Amino acid sequence: METIESFESNDSLKLSFQTSNALSATSESPLTPTRTYDGGYTEAKDIRLRLANGGAGQSGLIGAFANAFVKWCVEGSECEAKEAAFLVGWYLADTTQSLAYLSSSWVDVAFTYNAAAEMALVRNGKAIERELVFVDHFYLVGPPSNPAQLSPQDLVQDTFAKIVANGAIDALAPPGGRPPTRFLSRFDKSATNIKESDLLIGIGQVPWALPPAVWYHVYPRFPIEALKAASVLQEYTLTDRGTWLSSDKKVCDALTVYKGQTNLENTQDIAECKNNLEDDDDKVLLNPCNALLGANPLDKDLAAKFMRWLLSPLGGQKVVREFKTTNGQMIYAPAT
């Protein structure tokens, strides 16, 4: 039997900090990168670009961006001068943490999924550029036994309403022979947590309010860890396509996708996502990722070059299109 560790504090979600008595928005970053990338140039020693993200970093997309960008810079192009080999640092952080790091000038570019929070940073001058880079897709997944009796015909909000209703019933009268209806929430201010909260508030529910609902399981972990917990505990949860396709097969085999777009061949959703058209139920679970350039990057010229490269059909967009699973499934939809 696989076990899931209990949650005691949120400390494990935080990046390692170096000690410092006086840190400011313009001082040296206190963060230690989760990983560094050199594009294959092992002689590279210095970090010149710092990127923050959660799920797409765990899936490998941020690393793919970093390696391809370093290689492109070192090899040069017809319109860009060659650069000496350098390192790109990736800092594992959810959307709220990523934006905080960007605001403090501890990272140069944040890949985040919350338009309202992003625009707040743009308005206050902490971010000077914001660009749609790719689109992820949320999935509502849960146990194959389907204790909440979700149906493919249900609207997204209807599925959450069924989870709430059946969760309350199972809490009062625990069922026999099947797992109770429970929903696992990362409850960590991530884009996923904000999305699920928005959907629950949309049906008039705030299960995290005191006293918290029994069926609402608080499990603050990063995406892959949370999905694994849901599979072991047989609970519903909201995850994203990138995390789903990047997880172990045994994790996904223990769960069923009840809502979410599983075919990315039709990219019409991207144009609609740009226009913020979310009235169509098929678009409710879109998860657009924007890259925000901070006001005080380590290397302004290099960071600006990275933002241009991300939007290039032969640069960042090519990386997104070619970033697939081992069996050829697209994980993310490109912005262009």
Q: Tens digits of per-residue pLDDT, 24-35? A: 344 478 999 999
Cα separations in angstroms, 256 against 132, 139, 140: 29, 10, 9
218 forms beta bridges with 185
Per-residue pLDDT at 238: 98
Strand, coil or helix: what is 189?
Answer: coil
Cα separations in angstroms, 199 against 42, 170, 207, 265, 279: 46, 21, 12, 26, 13
Cα separations in angstroms, 144 against 169, 232, 234, 252: 19, 12, 8, 11
pLDDT (tens digit per residue) in 258-277: 998 766 655 455 545 555 44
Alpha helices in 149-295 (DSSP H): 156-172, 191-202, 223-233, 241-246, 249-253, 268-274
HSE toward the beta carbon, residue 232, CA cutoff 13 A: 14
What is the rounded distance in angstroms from the CA atom of residue 234 to the CA atom of residue 184? 9
pLDDT (tens digit per residue) in 23-68: 434 447 899 999 999 999 999 999 999 999 999 999 999 999 999 9
What is the rounded distance in angstroms from the CA atom of residue 30 to the CA atom of residue 130? 25
How is residue 34 annotated by DSSP? Answer: S
pTM of structure = 0.84
Strand, coil or helix: what is 32?
Answer: coil
